[in-house]
């Protein structure tokens, strides 16, 4: 069973618990590795990311915890890098993600609420949610090139509020063509995709990202995968990993154990 989580947020961005509380929980729960991945600073919206000041605190605190737990728990300092965030430097690894679309000179959040998605489609895409999805996946396809990431974060985040098909049809040929174009571009980078249970632990979804049709398509083209908790509280480290490992095994998928390459 995989007992390591490299997608972890703390109270220094939009998480609930401090880095120290997360590290203590990881050690008590028998994790072998813990990777912090605070949201990189996005100057146009500081409501959920680390501020410049908290970024400095984050680096210092993770470095302190690494020494405190040396020999007991491997701790790494990563960053979740949005396309439009300040560029990363000096981190052990980077998770590349898209949380916004740039359209008509504004940045539109894709994962805050279904109402905001509908509003964005109405105001910037002529009411066409599939056009919004096409723009989203066009951006996702550039993540590896733009961020130099080591992990592709929540590939189909735009479906956060769509598990029942309330917003758009994920079987629509336009939607399928959009994610396939993005996936093909990302496959060339040979970077693992995360199987992300974060929306499950926070009650938004019953299945992880990416959706199973995407997962199987990627599997058939040789993609690699890492399990990710996208953890925002100490009680959800490695959320649902055991059940997901069994599900994935039945699909012929074995997640890799992620090994950061070091500061970058």
C-alpha–C-alpha distance, residues 176 and 155, integer Å:
13
Structure tokens at 232: 């925002």
| Domain count within the chain | 1
Residue 260 in contact with residue 78, Cβ under 8 Å?
Answer: yes
Residue 201 lies in a domain: yes
pLDDT at 223: 98
Q: Does a structural domain hold residue 210?
A: yes
Is the CB of residue 90 less than 8 Å from the CB of residue 263? yes
Report how far apart, in Å, the C-alpha atoms of 99 and of each of 38, 82, 156 are: 14, 7, 10
Axis-axis angle for helices 129-140, 173-187 (nearest 10): 10
Query: Which pLDDT value is given to residue 261?
Result: 78
pLDDT at 234: 97
25 φ, ψ to 5°? -60, -40
| pLDDT score of 88 | 85
Q: Which two tokens stand for residue 171?
A: 């079987």
- pLDDT, residue 126, reads 98
- Residue 257 resides in a domain: no
Q: Is 151 helix (H, G, I), strand (E, B) or coil?
A: strand
Residue 73 is predicted with a pLDDT of 97
CATH number of the structural domain spanning residue 238: 3.20.20.140
- Using DSSP, state whether 260 is helix, strand or coil: coil
Q: Which residues of the chain have pLDDT under 70?
A: 263-264
Nearest-angstrom CA–CA distance, 57 and 99 = 23
Q: Which residues contact 177 (CB under 8 A, 6 or more apart)?
A: none
Sheet holding 93-97, edge to edge: 4-8, 33-39, 74-82, 93-97, 151-152, 193-196, 225-228
- Longest pairwise C-alpha distance within the chain: 56
pTM reported for the whole predicted model: 0.97
Is 260 domain-assigned? no
As a whole number of angstroms, the distance between CA 6 and CA 258 comes to 8
256 found inside a domain:
no
Tens digit of each residue's pLDDT (9 = 90 or more) over 54-98: 999 999 999 999 999 999 999 999 999 999 999 888 999 999 999
Domain assignment present for 255: no
What is the per-residue pLDDT for 1? 87
Q: What is the pLDDT of residue 251?
A: 98
**Angstrom distance (rounded) from CA 193 to CA 138:** 17
Sign, CA dihedral 259-78-212-171, equals: negative
- How far is Cα 127 from Cα 119, in angstroms, rounded to an integer? 8
Residue 86 in tokens = 């300040």
From the list 78, 123, 81, the residue with the least C-alpha distance to 100 is 81
Tell me if 258 is assigned to some domain: no
Domain containing 136 equals: 4-250
Q: Residue 263's pLDDT is what?
A: 57
CA distance 20 to 76: 13
261 assigned to some structural domain: no
User: In the structure encoding, which two tokens stand for residue 226, read together?
Assistant: 């890492």
């Amino acid at each position: 069973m995989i007992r390591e989580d490299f997608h972890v947020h703390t109270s220094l961005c939009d998480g609930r618990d401090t880095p120290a509380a997360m590290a203590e929980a990881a050690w008590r729960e028998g994790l072998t590795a813990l990777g912090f991945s605070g949201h990189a600073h996005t100057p146009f919206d500081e409501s959920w990311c680390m501020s410049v000041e908290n970024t400095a605190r984050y680096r210092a605190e993770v470095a302190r915890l690494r020494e405190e737990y040396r020999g007991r728990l491997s701790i790494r300092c990563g960053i979740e890098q949005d396309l439009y965030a300040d560029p990363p430097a000096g981190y052990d690894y980077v998770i590349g993600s898209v949380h916004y679309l740039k359209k008509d000179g504004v940045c539109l959040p894709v994962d805050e609420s279904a109402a905001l998605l509908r509003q964005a489609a109405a105001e910037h895409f002529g009411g066409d949610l599939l056009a919004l999805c096409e723009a989203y996946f066009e951006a996702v396809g550039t993540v590896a090139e733009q961020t130099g990431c080591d992990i592709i974060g929540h590939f189909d985040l735009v479906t956060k509020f769509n598990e029942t098909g309330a917003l758009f049809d994920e079987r629509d040929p336009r939607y399928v063509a959009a994610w396939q174009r993005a996936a093909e571009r990302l496959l060339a980078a040979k970077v693992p995709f995360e199987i992300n249970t974060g929306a499950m632990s926070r009650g938004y979804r019953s299945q992880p990202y990416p959706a199973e049709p995407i997962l199987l398509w990627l599997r058939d083209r040789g993609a690699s995968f890492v399990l990710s908790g996208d953890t925002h509280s100490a009680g959800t480290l490695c959320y649902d990993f055991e059940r997901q490992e069994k599900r994935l095994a039945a699909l012929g998928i074995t997640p890799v154990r992620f090994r950061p390459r070091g500061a970058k």
